[in-house]
Amino acid sequence: MSRYRNVGLFLTLAACWGSAFVAISAGLEHFPPVLFAALRYDVAGVIMLGYAAYALEDGAWLPRGRAEWAVVAVGAVLLIAAYHAFLFVGQQHTTAAAAAILVSLSPVLTTGFARALVPSDALSAIGVVGVALGLVGVAIISQPDPSNLLATDFVAKLLVFCAAASFALGSVLTRRIDASLPIETMEAWSMIGGALVMHLVSLALAEPIEPSAWTDPQALGALGYLALVASALGFLLYFDLLERLGAVEINMVSYVAPIFATVVGWLYLGEVVDATTVLGFGFIVAGFALVKRRALREEFAHVNRLYSNSRE
């Protein structure tokens, strides 16, 4: 029963995060991108902080000391603000499915950044090939035209790639800082800090907003879905599955989410995924498999042992 429960929660998380890309596309028809992202985390940050205060003991919901606040600062700037600002701006001119697929490159880039920042832990030749395959997948999806590198579609996908790179770099830096901050606390305060950074960026960009957006059902529905379902519920599921499955298995959600983004985007927005995008996704998945080959091999062996024991 526990195995079926984990599979069900994993698919629910993939559905929440995959369909979030569709909600972003729907909301961008009414809200300016950076402000839209900031509003999402205004709500989600407060909810997550409340959850951290409820779930953690001995005041662990509040960061203490320079190292813990440094983790929060990196999370706020890179994992929340930079990632979502790039993603929301880029997704104005690309499909939800393409954005989800480009973001799925994050685990590959995370390994690349980790190896680059720790020279003693360099990538093997096979690992380098894996990173290269992931980047080839991005190039296939983006289809850059050397004679027009400022084309709207290419720039949009490049911005989504920058979002994935920001998240990957932030993931590496937060792990390198020597701080024992609970993940619930880090996520909650990073959301609040990231929302503040994005509000400042939105003000600097002088983003306009139509008053009608505050009463439009689709606009409010998209904002509510992103804040309550994709962020609050999604991260609660993530925390639960991270403890049950571990980091390797939970990373696989990045490769299931685009399937939900594709299906929901087709049903709700009428978006169609072309063969080139699917091919690029294949390269990214292959890159992930090469970069994480040892961890995947160990994980599959562990799952096989558990399955064999359950049948005895």
Question: Which domain, by its residues, includes 16?
Answer: 1-310
Q: How far, in Å, CA of 12 to CA of 238, rounded?
A: 10
Q: Residue 122 above 80 pLDDT?
A: no
Confidence of residue 145 (pLDDT cuts 50, 70, 90): low
Q: How far, in Å, CA of 48 to CA of 191, rounded?
A: 8
pLDDT at position 302: 64
Tally of domains in the chain: 1
Q: How far, in Å, CA of 3 to CA of 188, rounded?
A: 29
| Token output for 270 | 């009428």
pLDDT at position 247: 62
Please state which of the ranges 17-26, 69-78, 217-226, 240-249 shows the lowest mean pLDDT: 240-249
Q: How far is CA 237 from CA 9, 198, 290, in A?
A: 7, 25, 27
pLDDT at position 299: 64
Please state which of the ranges 60-64, 87-91, 210-214 shows the lowest mean pLDDT: 210-214
DSSP H or E run through 234: helix 234-245
What does the pLDDT average to over 156-179? Answer: 89
Q: How far is CA 138 from CA 67, 89, 157, 213, 241, in A?
A: 35, 18, 8, 33, 28
What does the pLDDT average to over 93-110? Answer: 86
Confidence of residue 310 (pLDDT cuts 50, 70, 90): low
Reported pTM: 0.84
Please state which of the ranges 172-181, 193-202, 239-248 shows the lowest mean pLDDT: 239-248
